[in-house]
Amino acid sequence: MDIVLYENYSEKEAIVKDIQSAYTLTGSLRGESSIINPSFLIEHSNPSNYNYCYIAEFGRYYFISNITSVRTGIWKIDCSVDVLMSFQDAILALDVTVSDASIGDQRPTYMNGDVWQTTVKTKTDVIVFPSGLLDDGEYILITSGG
């Protein structure tokens, strides 16, 4: 089975990964392996630079979670499926309701959220109305009769 090893420079949560330095080799699955968390043996001088791979037969991308030296030139690669990269097109086509987004249709900044942090201090603005009641009053005398 062909396995393409990569150097992944993107974070795990990125749907589409920035993967480089593709190196294709042939390996064999080691014993019973799942397609979600496969392990396989490869022949390589030193695959420690690689942290990501693609297995065409499974149609999936994987994080390399561990690399173990079996013997000189033979390495065991433990992988876990990267569901985001593996199904990127279908995931990007999903209809979603978003609670937080770096960039959306517009930036509704009147929604509450944890990001709106303040210090314990406040500032005060005073706006005085243009006019008011009399500063000095006017006498009113009320008498009986008149």
The answer to the question of residue 116 lying near another protein (CB under 8 A) is: yes
Q: Enter the tokens of residue 69.
A: 């030296």
The answer to the question of residue 39 lying near another protein (CB under 8 A) is: no
The answer to the question of residue 86 lying near another protein (CB under 8 A) is: yes
Taking CB atoms within 8 Å and a gap of at least 24, the contacts of 98-104 are none
- What residue type is assigned to position 124 of the chain? T
Task: Report, in Å, the least distance between residue 79 CB and another protein.
Answer: 14
**Pattern 44-83, binding to another protein, x per CB under 8 A?**
-------------------------------------x-x
Euclidean distance between CA atoms 45 and 34, whole angstroms: 26
Euclidean distance between CA atoms 70 and 42, whole angstroms: 10
The answer to the question of residue 134 lying near another protein (CB under 8 A) is: yes
